[in-house]
């Protein structure tokens, strides 16, 4: 087994993992040590799409080189990869649809939500071609929600959100290649059909199907979710908050919200305040809400709710012994939290009918009963307070301040303090002059198999040192925040040019400096960097793929990161992954994705001008990304 230091560079995680091991509590880190990787699965060469199989092809040429059905190695690897992308795109599309339904019910007065950002509603409605003049807010909201739901129903045409948010130059390219998705559910069903036994066997066609999944994820998932959540819950503005296990409070009733949807957790924020008197009556000093994963990011960005921890260490929040309830919605929820909770007094509460965990309690959530569900959950947590075992309480004192809330609106707002007429000008000037060498989005997760935060932090520090402006989302943002890359301390890692720009913009808005890396939100909020890139590319009248920008997920664990990455690849943005995308078994698939095919056949780089970079070493990864940034700078005639 790895030592706690080998598991994570976060001292709070190290302390709680030590406690877990002393108390005989097993976590994902221990299970990761116990599992030996399967060489076939890890390289994508194991097919179990039918009952003839599973068939495994040894990549060294030994043994049968085709499945029983005759599927080739390339077919099997490409098909498995497409399945991963579909598993990434589907939960994001469902996220978009859940929020669209909530908006519809809110607009029709059937669900207890209000429109907190009517200005954004108007902008989104405008972008979708919806008449806003002389119409009531709820009427417009209803029309926007129906437009969103069309993206799951229409049998012809193109996703409304793609037409709205897609950069025109990229959309033209996708159109030319016949990649434009019609509706998310249709595309996902077709993708499942494509990968089913006896259907698509053409590796190239399967990879093109993968690009469609990237677009489905990008528009029906990311963009739709962010736009509608901003309308319902407000567009984030800069906020200072706290990170890490030290945000737990032994004197209060602690509730962790975990998952991805803000629909329920926003209501829990409200009811935690309203039921404070009941918490006091139970002998506590109040209710303390903390976030985990992206539900945490959503509440952080809009409400300044502190974040306890990221994906790989989610079970350890419970090991603190002070958690009365962990409320989960969807995505990235380890079933293991229930086994850990059974060693303490923590109640795991699932909330969606399609996300249950054996042994956990379930409070069914629908937008129309949001208040009742949130109240019931907060009351259960209050009732659990008395069951806490003081002998098992140990909260690491580790916590860090961090800035978050950098929506595109907030970034442009800050820049407009420097140039009101043309807010993007200071940023573009800095990129052109080389003060800022390029822009990188660090996205994705933490992974129990990886040393937590090391990849995310090392990639960030290395890029900052070379004057790359870094934005971050998801659990990788947690890594950066916990290690002082979202407060003033981290400025020391920035190269001179970048630091000067961060200071200048910061000063203009009354701060000492902008933080070294900008927290743009949850995983679905990867729409925000995409929107920023669209605005920059349109201003320069170039294709997004021509910009000196990269995406990187050094520590991912989730197929969602692959489908988000594919969305950026379809724009011609280079995407780095630090964890194997499980395609190594096929040289053809690997080289098509990494742009290394030297023959005249298609590869991603030739097709879009961006490629997949798979590199486990964070320093080499940063170097490869810098090389690509420089390549694109040269092509634009910029200095390097
Ligand atoms: Fe084997 Fe073909 Fe069935 Fe896959 S689909 S398990 S390769 S027979
Ligand atoms: Fe996430």
* Structural domains of the chain sorted by starting position, each given as residue range(s) with its CATH number in brackets: 77-233 (1.20.1270.30), 245-392 (3.40.50.2030), 403-635 (3.40.50.2030)
User: Which atom of ligand 1 is nearest the CA belonging to 54?
Assistant: 6
Residue 637 burial (CB < 10 Å; 0-12/13-18/19+)?
exposed
- What is the best residue among 52, 83, 194, 198 to mutate for testing ligand 1's pocket, by most ligand atoms within 8 Å of CB? 52
pLDDT in tens, 352-403: 999 999 999 999 999 999 999 999 999 999 999 999 999 999 999 999 999 9
Rounded Cα distance, 80 and 326, in Å: 33
Tokens of 450: 């990886």
Distances in Å between the Cα of 360 and the Cα atoms of 155, 245, 324, 327, 349 are 40, 23, 13, 10, 6
Shortest-distance Cα residue to atom 6 of ligand 1 = 53
Question: Which residue's CA is minimally distant from atom 4 of ligand 1?
Answer: 47
- ∠ CA(459), CA(613), CA(564), 5° rounding? 85
- For 551, the 3-state DSSP assignment is strand
pLDDT tens readout for residues 188-226: 999 999 999 999 999 999 999 999 999 999 999 999 999
Residue nearest atom 3 of ligand 1, based on CA coordinates: 50
Residues with CB under 6 A from ligand 1: 47-50, 52-55, 67-69, 71, 76, 197
- Which pLDDT belongs to residue 174? 97
Burial class (CB in 10 A: 0-12, 13-18, 19+), 133: exposed
> Which tens digits make up the pLDDT trace of 422-455?
999 999 999 999 999 999 999 999 999 999 999 9
The owner of tokens 């920059």 is 536
C-alpha 231 – ligand 2 centre gap (Å)? 20
Q: What is the pLDDT of residue 600?
A: 65
Q: What is the pLDDT of residues 226-246, one digit of tens each?
A: 999 999 999 999 999 999 999
Ligand nearest to the CA of 45: 1
Ligand 1 atom closest to the CA of 51, numbered from 1: 3
pLDDT > 80? residue 50: yes
Q: How far is the CA of 164 from the centre of ligand 1 (A)?
A: 40
Specify the residue for token string 């859940």.
98
Ligand closest in space to the Cα of 294: 2
The structure tokens listed for 206 are: 């399967």
Ligand nearest to the CA of 225: 2
Beta-strand (E) ranges in 175-247? 239-243
Task: Return the H-helix or E-strand segment holding 350.
Answer: strand 347-350
Nearest Cα neighbor of 377 from 387, 364, 359 is 364
- What are 108-116's contacts with CB under 8 Å, separation 24+? 108/138, 108/142, 109/138, 110/367, 110/368, 111/367, 111/368, 111/370, 112/267, 112/368, 112/370, 112/371, 113/232, 113/367, 113/370, 114/232, 115/141, 115/231, 115/232, 116/231, 116/232, 116/233, 116/234
Q: Ligand 2 centre and the CA of 447: distance in Å?
A: 12
User: What confidence score (pLDDT) does residue 498 get?
Assistant: 98
Which tokens is 591 given? 């080289």
pLDDT tens, residue by residue, 450-502: 999 999 999 999 999 999 999 999 999 999 999 999 999 999 999 999 999 99
> Cα of 473 to ligand 2 centre, how many Å?
8
d(CA 311, CA 145): 31
What separation in Å is there between the alpha carbon of 203 and the centre of ligand 1? 15
Proportion of the chain above pLDDT 70, given as a percent = 100
Of the listed ligands, the closest to the CA of 523 is 2
DSSP 305: -
Residue 55 CA: nearest ligand 1 atom is: 1
Residues having C-beta closer than 5 Å to ion ligand 2? 294, 474, 523
The token duo for 367 is: 């937008």
Check residue 580 and report its DSSP letter. -
pLDDT at 598: 78
Percent of the chain past pLDDT 90, that is, above it, reads 97
Going from the Cα of 442 to the center of ligand 2, the distance in angstroms, rounded, reads 13
Structure tokens at 45: 């060469």
pLDDT higher than threshold 90 for residue 602: no
Q: Which atom of ligand 1 is nearest to the CA of 48?
A: 6
Q: What is the mean pLDDT of the chain?
A: 97
CA of 456 to the centre of ligand 2 (A): 15
Full DSSP string of 66-99: B-TT--BHHHHHHHHHHHHHHHHHHHHHHHHHHH
What ligand has the least distance to the C-alpha of 478? 2
When computed from its CA atoms, the radius of gyration of the chain, rounded to whole angstroms, is 24
Query: Is pLDDT at 580 greater than 70 in this prediction?
Result: yes
* Cα 436 to ligand 1 centroid, rounded to whole Å: 50
For the cut 80, the answer to whether the pLDDT of residue 599 exceeds it is no
Mean pLDDT computed over 296-318? 98
Q: How far apart are CA 112 and CA 122, in angstroms?
A: 21
- Whole-number Å distance between alpha carbons of 290 and 559: 26
Residue of the CA atom closest to atom 7 of ligand 1: 67
Q: How far apart are the first and last CA of the chain?
A: 45
CA of 209 from ligand 1 middle (Å) equals 19
The pick from 44, 67, 76, 193 for probing ligand 1's pocket by mutation, whose C-beta has the most ligand atoms within 8 angstroms, reads 67
Ligand that comes closest to the CA of residue 298: 2
Max CA distance (Å), the chain: 74
Strand partners, 307: 243, 291
Query: Ligand 2: distance of its center to the CA of 564 in Å?
Result: 11
Which listed ligand is nearest to 559 at the C-alpha? 2
Tens digit of pLDDT for each residue in 57-116?
998 888 999 999 999 999 999 999 999 999 999 999 999 999 999 999 999 999 999 999
Residue 221 exposure: Cα atoms within 13 Å on the Cβ side: 33
Of 45, 50, 72, 79, the residue with max ligand 1 atoms within 8 A of its CB, to mutate for a pocket test, comes to: 50
Say how many CA atoms lie within 13 Å of 101 toward its Cβ.
Answer: 12
**Closest ligand 1 atom, residue 68 Cα:** 8
Query: Which of ligand 1's atoms lies nearest the C-alpha of 47?
Result: 4
Contacts of 516 (CB under 8 A, 6+ apart): 464, 470, 485, 486, 490, 491, 493, 494, 498, 502
Structure letter (DSSP) for residue 567: H
> Any bridge partners for residue 402, and if so which?
241
Q: What is the pLDDT of residues 136-173, one digit of tens each?
A: 999 999 999 999 999 999 999 999 999 999 999 999 99
Q: CA 184, CA 221: separation in Å to the nearest integer?
A: 9
Q: What's the pLDDT score for residue 70?
A: 97
Ligand 1 center from residue 75 Cα (angstroms): 10
CB proximity list for 501: less than 8 A, separation 6 or greater? 426, 427, 430, 435, 436, 469
Is 0.90 exceeded by the ipTM? Answer: yes
Output the residue whose Cα is nearest ligand 1's atom 2: 69
Q: How far apart are CA 310 and CA 10, in angstroms?
A: 11
- What is the distance in A from the centroid of ligand 2 to the CA of 561? 9
pLDDT at 303 over 80: yes
Q: Choose one of 55, 75, 199 to mutate for the ligand 1 pocket test, by most ligand atoms within 8 angstroms of C-beta.
A: 55
- Per-residue confidence (pLDDT) for residue 175, from 0 to 100: 97
Paired with 110 in beta bridges are none
């Amino acid at each position: 087994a790895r030592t706690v230091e080998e598991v994570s560079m976060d001292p709070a995680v190290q302390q709680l993992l030590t406690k877990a091991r002393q108390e005989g509590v097993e976590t994902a880190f221990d299970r990761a040590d116990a599992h030996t990787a399967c060489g076939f699965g890890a390289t994508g060469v194991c097919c179990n799409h039918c009952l003839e199989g599973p068939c495994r092809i040894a990549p060294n040429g030994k043994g049968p080189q085709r499945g029983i059905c005759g599927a080739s190695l390339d077919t099997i690897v490409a098909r498995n990869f497409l399945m991963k992308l579909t598993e990434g795109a589907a939960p994001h599309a469902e996220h978009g649809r859940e929020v669209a339904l909530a908006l519809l019910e809110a607009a029709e007065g059937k669900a207890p939500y209000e429109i907190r950002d009517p200005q954004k509603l108007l902008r989104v409605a405008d972008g979708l071609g919806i008449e806003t003049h002389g119409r009531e807010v709820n009427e417009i909201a209803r029309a926007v929600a129906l437009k969103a739901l069309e993206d799951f129903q229409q049998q012809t045409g193109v996703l409304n959100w793609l037409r709205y948010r897609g950069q025109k130059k990229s959309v033209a390219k996708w159109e030319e290649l016949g990649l434009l998705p019609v509706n998310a559910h249709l595309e996902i069903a077709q993708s499942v059909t494509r990968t089913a036994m006896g259907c698509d066997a053409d590796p190239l066609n399967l990879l093109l199907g993968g690009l469609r999944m990237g677009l489905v994820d990008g528009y029906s998932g990311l963009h739709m979710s962010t736009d509608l959540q901003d309308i319902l819950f407000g567009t984030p503005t800069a906020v200072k908050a706290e990170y890490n296990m030290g945000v737990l409070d032994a004197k209060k009733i602690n509730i962790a919200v975990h998952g991805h949807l803000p629909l329920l957790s926003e209501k829990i924020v409200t009811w935690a305040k309203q039921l404070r008197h009941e918490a006091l009556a139970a002998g506590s000093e109040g209710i303390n809400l903390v976030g985990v994963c992206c539900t945490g990011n959503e509440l952080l960005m809009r409400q300044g709710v502190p974040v306890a921890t990221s994906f790989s260490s989610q079970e350890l929040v419970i090991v603190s012994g002070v958690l009365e309830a962990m409320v989960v919605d969807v995505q990235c929820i380890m079933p293991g939290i229930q086994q850990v909770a059974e060693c303490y007094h923590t109640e795991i509460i699932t909330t969606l009918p399609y996300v249950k965990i054996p042994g956990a309690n379930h409070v069914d959530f629908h937008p129309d009963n949001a208040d009742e569900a949130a109240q019931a959950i907060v009351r259960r947590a209050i009732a659990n307070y008395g069951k806490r075992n003081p002998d098992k309480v140990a909260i690491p004192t580790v916590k860090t301040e961090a800035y978050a809330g950098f929506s595109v609106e907030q970034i442009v707002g800050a820049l407009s303090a420097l140039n009101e007429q043309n807010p993007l000008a200071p940023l573009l000037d800095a990129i052109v002059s080389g003060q800022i060498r390029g822009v990188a989005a660090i996205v994705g997760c933490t992974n129990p198999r990886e040393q937590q935060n090391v990849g995310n932090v090392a990639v960030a520090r290395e890029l900052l040192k070379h004057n790359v402006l870094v934005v971050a989302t998801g659990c990788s943002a947690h890594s950066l925040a916990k290690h002082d890359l979202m407060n003033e301390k981290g400025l020391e890692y920035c190269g001179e040019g970048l630091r000067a720009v961060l200071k200048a913009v910061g000063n203009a808005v009354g701060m000492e400096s902008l933080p070294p890396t900008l927290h743009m939100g949850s995983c679905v909020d990867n729409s925000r960097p995409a929107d920023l890139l669209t605005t920059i590319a349109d201003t320069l009248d170039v294709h997004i793929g021509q910009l000196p920008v990269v995406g990187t997920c050094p520590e991912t664990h989730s197929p969602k990161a692959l489908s988000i990455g594919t969305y950026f690849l379809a724009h011609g943005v280079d995407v780095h992954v630090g964890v194997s995308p499980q395609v190594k078994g096929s040289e053809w698939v690997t080289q098509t994705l990494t742009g290394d095919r030297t023959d005249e056949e298609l590869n991603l780089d030739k097709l879009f001008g961006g490629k997949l970079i798979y590199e486990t070493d964070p320093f080499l990864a940063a170097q490869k990304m810098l090389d690509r940034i420089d390549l694109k700078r040269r092509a634009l005639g910029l200095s390097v």
